[in-house]
Structure 1
Amino acid sequence: MKIKKFAGIICLTSALLVAGCTSAVPEKSPSRNQPTGSQLENKIPWVATKNTTRINTSDPFEAAVIVSKTIWTSTNDQSRPGGVVLVNPDDWQSALVSTDLIHFPNNGPVLFSRQDQIPDVTINELKRLNPIGSPQNQNIQVILVGNFDKNVEEQIKSLEFKFDRIQGKNPADYAKAIDAYYAKVAGSVPQSVIIGSMDSPDFTLPATNWIAHMPEPLLYVKKDEIPQETNDALKTRNGQANIYLLGPELVVSSNVEQQLKQYGKVTRISGNDPYENAIAFAKFKDSATQFGWGITSPGHNVSFMVIGSPALAIAQTPFSHMGKHAPLLWTGQDKMPSPVMSYLMSIQPKYKLSPAEGPYNHAWITGDQNTMTSNAQAEIDSMLEITSESGGGHGNMGGMDNNKQTDSTQMPGMKH
């Protein structure tokens, strides 16, 4: 593969571990139309800067696999997942609600399958992961969520994995089924729940990173209607639900908000557009229930996506479950929208004497340069960089006034 130098970018070329870095990226990003299931070993899976790590593909099947490799090394039983959720990336609504099963009971990723066949890239990852089976869920190793053809079941059987199926008639029915499945395995119904639009993915998708991280499920509504399946799921909370309505009245009306109040306390979390909406969700915290990320200070991880790629957003969801837990934020293909930049500035780390003090911010980015340019990645990296409280840079020696002449032997670390 031809490569060219790219200043400031580090390639993480090992398939499992960060080892042997070079300053290179592909001369041309892989086409988004290339056949799904291409050989990942022929591509650079990770591209990193000092404060960001990019999942370097815009193929959802491959992205889900690279995310899985990043989190579950599967070198021993402790680093293998309990179970895997298998979904169809073309059905974002059912795939989104299925991420509620990532943390519990699976401690495992979401991987993608076509309706009629599991592609090789996913099959190979299932073999590598070799899930141990969820002890809380009768040692189930794979959960199929969706109306897959019989051939998909036969492929799972050929791998000798114990599997389960969750099916539904529509998005609201899938959400209800996932909610019931989780409650059955856990032995109780989570009292808190997120309500999101089934028709507006850009406003609803930020919920995926939270429901993968915590027990609250996602249930669906339309702008002016609560589906019967959602009503049924909410009734199981016996009027005591803590309902967090995600999105502005543009996508979920005030009339629906009022109807939801019959099931418990309703709190709307919203922004004027998808960017501000995702930020509002990342900042929100309910001190009474401890629901919400509450990220309003430095020292955190975030996961950046470009709007318009629901399957990629779902592929990155495990970044909220393991490692540096991350909420989902939207950004632009080539540059950061002003609300996002303002938010990152508000949580930018500052040091007093030395940048070694920390804390540090980091970002996951999902998608190759067809989805997000290197300029956009560099801008994110810069906005996450730790800076001096005094406004000076690293060469300012611990925030000292550049206008003052100081003997180097009096500077920290300079007297040897």
Structure 2
Amino acid sequence: MERPHPSLYQLSTTATTRINGWDAVSAAIGVSQTVYPAARPNAVVLARPDYFPESLAATRLLHPFHAPLLYTESQALEEEVKRELVRLSPGGNGLPGQVIVVGAVHAQILHDIDELGFTSWHLIGHDLWDTVDRIAELDVGVDPRDVLLVSAHPLAGGVVAGGYAAHKGSPILFATERGLSPSATAYLRRHPRSRVFVICPEAYLPRTLTSDVRLLGSKVEGWIGGGDPYEVAGAFAKFRHSKSGVGWGRRERSGAAVTLVPTENWPFGVAAAALSSVGKQTPLLLTKRESLPGQTEDFLNRLRPRLEIGGFPQTHGFLVGSLDVISYPVQMRMHQALTRAD
């Protein structure tokens, strides 16, 4: 496939802003520089882009701790990550450390953070699920009974829960085709009467899930499902629970901003959760690399506001990833959907 030369295509349009990034590390830095271009965050969350449950669970720390999420995937801290940490210079006020390191990393990573003059707070458990459980248990000032439950499969669309978790601080729990994960079971045992919101296509999780949650003393208040992850993402962007207020509630003609992330590259979507925590507070939608799914395009078409004569479009969309990650034709479809006149 011929790669488009960057000079032939604009990265942004009047209705779309592309945050460039060709891999997980660069995409996360791009999001960080977009969300915190000048102001200092209070912390930085540092995770690995190959541990989906840990990284996604950590998104609940972004808004309460005023932090972006960065990645490291080497035995030593990448030079570009070092530069971004220095640029951000997180304050660490009221926290055990300025850089919140999630999960198992090489000791050199912690040493490099110290060498830069920052303190680290290492959130790690006995194994992956224990780490996820510890993140879910952290007190971030929200009702711990409102929880999001997603599939542990990284391509099942659960990444969109990260945007809302970053926005509200909601804990994220996980399940597989065999049932609740160990951390989800432990959490629900400690927090009976939780309100559980499942965000996943029905095909990815067992039919017994609702009854399994009930046996632990909680209730599935809503299952935001669908035939595929793209339908789920749109449904969750529209969802709002009347009793608890959980959900984005982005209805037709709301003119709300949104962020488009690639399904195949889940670390991009997890890092993009920072766009949901500050600024325009955007829900996440999913796309394929070469084509905009019909479910996503339909949601975008319904989102744009009706305009009076002489009005201007208010809806705006972010895309996270380079032209090799989300193609230029997909960006044009998004632009057209957000600007097309009725």
Same fold (TM over 0.5): yes
Tell me which structure has the larger Cα radius of gyration. Answer: 1
* C-alpha distance after superposition, 1:188-244 (max 9, x if no partner): 75110011111243321111101011021101111222233221111222x211100
The gaps in structure 2 that reach 5 residues or longer are: none
Q: Residue by residue, what CA displacement relative to the aligned partner does 1:354-398 show, whole Å, maximum 9, x if unpaired?
A: 224x5x1111101111112111111101110163xxx4xxxxxxx
**2:52 touches 2:154 (CA, 8 Å); kept in 1?**
no
Distance 1:275 1:248 in 2: 9
Cα deviation code 1:132-187 (max 9, x no counterpart) = 1132x24x21111011111111111112212111113444322211012x22x54x
Between the aligned partners of 1:92 and 1:285, the Cα distance in structure 2 is: 26
Contact 1:173 1:230 in 2 (8 A): no
Residues 1:383 and 1:242: Cα distance change in structure 2 (over 3 Å): same
Aligned to 1:255: 208
Normalised by the length of structure 1, the TM-score is 0.77
Indicate the structure whose relative CO is greater, using CA pairs within 8 Å and at least 6 residues apart.
Answer: 2
**Identity value in percent:** 27
Question: Distance in 2 between the 1:226 and 1:314 partners?
Answer: 21
Q: 2:249 aligns with which of 291, 294, 303?
A: 294
Aligned to 1:277: 232
Match of 1:95 among 49, 52, 55: 55
Tell me if 1:123 matches 2:82.
Answer: yes
The residue that corresponds to 1:377 in the other structure is 331
Q: Separation in 1 of the partners of 2:72 and 2:167?
A: 23
CA offset digits 1:69-112 (Å, max 9, x no partner): 111123xxxx10000011011212211111111111x2011111
Q: Distance in 2 between matches of 1:189 and 1:353?
A: 44
Question: In 2 relative to 1, CA 219–355 (structure 1 residues): closer, same or farther, beyond 3 Å?
Answer: same
Within a 5 Å distance, the mapping from 1:327-366 to structure 2 comes to: 327-356=283-312, 360-366=314-320
Asked if 1:134 is matched to 2:93, the reply is: yes
SS, match of residue 149 in structure 2: strand
Does residue 125 of structure 2 align to residue 168 of structure 1?
Answer: yes
Show structure 1 runs of 5+ residues with no match.
Answer: 10-46, 392-416
Deviation at 1:126, TM superposition (A): 0.3
Is residue 223–residue 256 contact of structure 1 (8 Å, CA) maintained in 2?
no
The two structures, once aligned, show a CA RMSD in angstroms of: 1.8
C-alpha contact (below 8 Å) 1:274/1:330 kept by paired residues: yes
**DSSP 3-state at the match of 1:371:** coil
Helix, strand or coil: the match of 1:350? coil
The 5 A counterparts of 1:46-195 are 47-74=11-38, 79-104=39-64, 106-135=65-94, 137-138=95-96, 140-180=97-137, 182-183=138-139, 186=141, 190-195=144-149
1:334–1:375 CA contact under 8 A, matched in 2: yes
- Please, which moves more after superposition, 239-248 or 170-179? 170-179
Does the CA contact (< 8 Å) of 1:54 and 1:366 recur in 2?
Answer: yes
Separation (CA, whole Å) in 1 of partners of 2:232 and 2:48: 26
Q: Residue 350 of structure 1 contacts residue 386 of structure 1 at CA under 8 Å; is this kept in 2?
A: no
Counterparts in 2 of 1:383 and 1:230: CA distance versus 1, 3 Å: same
Counterpart code for 2:245: Q
Show CA shifts across 1:264-299 (max 9, x none): 221211111011011111111002111000111321
